[in-house]
Structure 1
């Protein structure tokens, strides 16, 4: 399962899943270097998917460039 870190609230990371459901995960369960907007893979462990995070950020940057140019 994949999700995107939407925000941090107190001791929880708010994660939007692929099916648009929202879940809260204790911040001590996610990698310390995780940031808002990072794609995470949720299986037995929780890991950052750096490749999907890069792709997502590029898509957003391209959309932003198209909007302003």
Structure 2
């Protein structure tokens, strides 16, 4: 299963990045409901469906918050 992170939105596309730092443009209509920047998406290899990985997203946000707090103390 492949994982992507939503980097940003540009018009009707979500620009997503994989672990190898390759970027993909995915139409926002194909994203799961409520997807936003920073969300980690699981890509089902067989069907190509996208789901939000809430656990991985929370871990990434927590790590970013800790780094931010450390920088601005």
- Normalising by structure 1, report the TM-score: 0.93
Distance 1:7 1:32 in 2: 16
Partner of 1:61 in structure 2? 65
Corresponding residue pairs, total: 69
Runs of 4+ in 1 over 6 A off after TM superposition: none
The CA deviation at 1:10 is: 1.3
State the secondary structure of the residue aligned to 1:14: strand
Please give the root-mean-square deviation of Cα atoms over the aligned residues, in Å. Answer: 0.8
